[in-house]
Amino acid sequence: MKGDVFVIEGGRSLFGRAELHGAKNAVLPMLAASVLTAAPVTVGDCPLISDVEDMIAVLRALGVDVAKKGREVTVSGAPSVTEIPAHLACAMRSSVFMLGALLASCGEVCLYSPGGCRIGARPLDIHLDGLAALGAKIEFGEDFVRCTAGKLRGTDIFLRYPSVGATENLLMAAVKAEGTTRLIGAAREPEILSLVRLLVKMGADISGEGTPVLTVRGVRELDGASVLPVKDRIVAGTVMAATAVCGGRVELSGADSSVMGAVISPFLGAHTFLVEHGGAITFESDGLLSPTDVTTGPYPLFPTDMQAPFMAAQCYASGMSTMRETVFEDRFAHVAELGKMGAKIALVGGTAYIDGSAGMHGAELSACDLRGGAGLVVAALGAKGRSSISGTVYIDRGYEDIEGLFSSLGADITRRRGG
Ligand code: EPZ
């Protein structure tokens, strides 16, 4: 596939300080929430990644004004368009977040089949059933869904699965609905707390955040606000995985250990050391990881977005590890690529069995989704010899200057510009 390629000479230890920025999965719904008011909404510390650029393009296509100064994005004005352009919806799954916000602010929204990483079917039933419960009319076209509502009315909504996006969409739909809405079985990811913090600062009445039951009392209007998102725990975990594989000591500046428990715990063992100090985490490893058995799940369990980066680290562990993926039904595309490096991984149902004693070497690799691509970078950093990774466009969706990040820590990684 055309495009840039990462070239990595593996085997270098990592030392230094990595500065974390706002979490992609907090910033995207927060930017979507901005259309709930015409007043200026500012989200600071945004990562410089293509998903944020794509979300800005969606907002501009809806007719609102978006000003970006470095990492600070300010959105103002009311949407004049309620249809998410197909080419933009296909670029990114996060265009789904516009459903709740646009419906609440304009009474209608039309979304073409959203894009994003190919990691399973990713249906929208939980989103749409919830919007229908609030009184929206849902119409399906060949490749679009249209939601319309005169007035949304609060009600109890039971989520059959704690879907992150559905929780966020339904929150944004409920904040100006008539009466009270309870989201029962809601997701509890830290990125949702950032969205709640923004909505409350805008004047929404929300309680129960961090618990499986969110209560929203509808208000008439929302105002502008300015909020910083939670730091990116997946970027932090990805740097930890690379440090575990390469050996070394890295300070993760801005890491918030209060939301990183599940990310950190599989890294802890005889060959690692971790200390928290003044808004940072320092993680040290001698590069000899112990085997681990990990299962992904909704927060506060081990996050599915860490599955591929951590599996790359398990490929270097001294024995058999397992990785059970319970959130997405098709999130093992990176396994075949790791196999090109010598990894011995057997997939049985939703569980990967990783024999770390196989020994890893550089190879020509191809990323086909965001976190799988990050996993390949982690594996290549630890492997003897040279690796090349194509499909960098996927990785750039969620990691800001990943080659600069790891080069600054001592890795030998460069970006070869593609045609
Ligand atoms: C969010 O996706 C994240 N994306 C994902 O991160 C993350 O992996 C995921 O949550 C789980 O934590 C953003 O926040 C932008 P879900 P989302 O709805 O909301 C099923 C990354 O790499 N489901 O919690 O799409 C779904 O198929 C991305 O940064 C339904 O069946 O995830 C999946 O199996 C990848 N029906 C499971 O629930 C629905 O209506 C979890 O999906 C909705 C979801």
Sketch the domain layout of the chain as residue ranges.
5-20+231-416, 24-219
246 is catalytic: no
Q: What count of residues does the chain have?
A: 419
Average pLDDT over residues 33-53: 97
**Residue 156, CA atoms < 13 Å, CB-side half-sphere:** 5
Residue reference for tokens 């249809």: 83
- Segment holding 125, helix H or strand E: helix 125-133
Maximum distance among all Cα pairs of the chain, rounded to whole angstroms: 62
The verdict on the CB of residue 304 being under 6 Å from ligand 1 is yes
What gap in Å lies between CA 387 and CA 132, rounded to an integer?
49
Q: How far is the CA of 125 from the centre of ligand 1 (A)?
A: 12
Token digits of residue 10: 């593996």
Question: CATH topology for 5-20+231-416?
Answer: UDP-n-acetylglucosamine1-carboxyvinyl-transferase; Chain (3.65.10)
Average pLDDT over residues 128-147: 93
The verdict on the CB of residue 134 being under 6 Å from ligand 1 is no
Ligand 1 atom 28 nearest Cα: 305
Indicate the DSSP class of residue 229. P
Identify the pLDDT of residue 91: 62
Identify the pLDDT of residue 399: 98
Ligand 1 nearest-atom number relative to CA 125: 40
pLDDT above 70: residue 120: no
Question: CATH topology for 24-219?
Answer: UDP-n-acetylglucosamine1-carboxyvinyl-transferase; Chain (3.65.10)
pLDDT above 90 coverage of the chain, percent:
88
Token digits of residue 57: 């393009």
Identify the pLDDT of residue 360: 97
Identify the pLDDT of residue 114: 64
- Segment holding 60, helix H or strand E: helix 50-61
Indicate the DSSP class of residue 39. S
Ligand 1 atom 18 nearest Cα: 163
pLDDT above 70 coverage of the chain, percent:
96
* Dihedral sign (CA 336, 337, 339, 343): negative
pLDDT above 60: residue 117: no
Residue 123 pLDDT grade (very low, low, confident, very high; cuts 50, 70, 90): confident
Query: Looking at per-residue confidence, does 85 or 321 come out higher?
Result: 321
- Segment holding 75, helix H or strand E: strand 72-76
Identify the pLDDT of residue 143: 82
Query: Beta strands 65-69 and 41-43: pairing type?
Result: unpaired
Q: How far is the CA of 330 from the centre of ligand 1 (A)?
A: 12
pLDDT in tens, 355-381: 998 899 999 999 999 999 999 999 999
Identify the pLDDT of residue 119: 58
Q: How far is the CA of 3 from the centre of ligand 1 (A)?
A: 27
What gap in Å lies between CA 323 and CA 325, rounded to an integer?
6
Identify the pLDDT of residue 118: 63
Look up residue 359 and give its amino acid: G
Average pLDDT over residues 143-163: 95
pTM over 0.95: yes
CB 267 within 8 A of CB 240: yes
When the pLDDT of each residue in the chain is averaged and rounded to a whole number, the result is 95
Average pLDDT over residues 269-277: 91
Ligand 1 atom 10 nearest Cα: 164
Identify the pLDDT of residue 358: 80
Mutate which of 25, 189, 307, 369 for ligand 1 pocket (most atoms within 8 A of beta carbon): 25
pLDDT in tens, 215-249: 999 999 999 999 999 999 999 999 999 999 999 99
> Which of 110, 117, 246, 315 is flagged as catalytic?
117
Q: How far is the CA of 2 from the centre of ligand 1 (A)?
A: 28
Using CA atoms, how far residue 350 sits from 212, 338, 340, in Å, is: 26, 17, 21
Token digits of residue 394: 């996927």
Average pLDDT over residues 25-53: 97
Identify the pLDDT of residue 121: 67
Ligand 1 nearest-atom number relative to CA 94: 15
Q: How far is the CA of 263 from the centre of ligand 1 (A)?
A: 17
Ordered alpha helix ranges (H), 202-314: 233-246, 261-264, 307-314
Is cis: bond before 303, omega within 30 of 0? no
CB 204 within 8 A of CB 175: yes
Q: What is the DSSP string of 84-116?
A: E-HHHHHH-GGGGGHHHHHHHHHSEEEEEPP--
Q: How far is the CA of 70 from the centre of ligand 1 (A)?
A: 28
List, in sequence order, every residue forming a beta bridge with 110; answer none if it has no partner.
Answer: 83, 146
The reply to whether 5-20+231-416 and 24-219 are identical in fold is yes
Identify the pLDDT of residue 58: 93
Mutate which of 55, 164, 192, 369 for ligand 1 pocket (most atoms within 8 A of beta carbon): 164
Identify the pLDDT of residue 113: 74
The verdict on the CB of residue 305 being under 6 Å from ligand 1 is yes
- Segment holding 24, helix H or strand E: helix 24-33
Identify the pLDDT of residue 115: 60
Identify the pLDDT of residue 304: 98
Give the strand order in the sheet containing 213-217.
Answer: 156-158, 180-184, 213-217, 205-207
The verdict on the CB of residue 42 being under 6 Å from ligand 1 is no
pLDDT in tens, 172-203: 999 999 999 999 999 999 999 999 999 999 99
Of 23-37, 74-88, 116-130, which gets the smallest average pLDDT?
116-130
Average pLDDT over residues 301-310: 98
Token digits of residue 206: 């929300």
The verdict on the CB of residue 331 being under 6 Å from ligand 1 is no
Look up residue 251 and give its amino acid: E
What gap in Å lies between CA 169 and CA 280, rounded to an integer?
32
Identify the pLDDT of residue 38: 98
The verdict on the CB of residue 165 being under 6 Å from ligand 1 is yes
Identify the pLDDT of residue 262: 95
Mutate which of 122, 124, 127, 232 for ligand 1 pocket (most atoms within 8 A of beta carbon): 122
pLDDT above 70: residue 348: yes
Identify the pLDDT of residue 288: 87
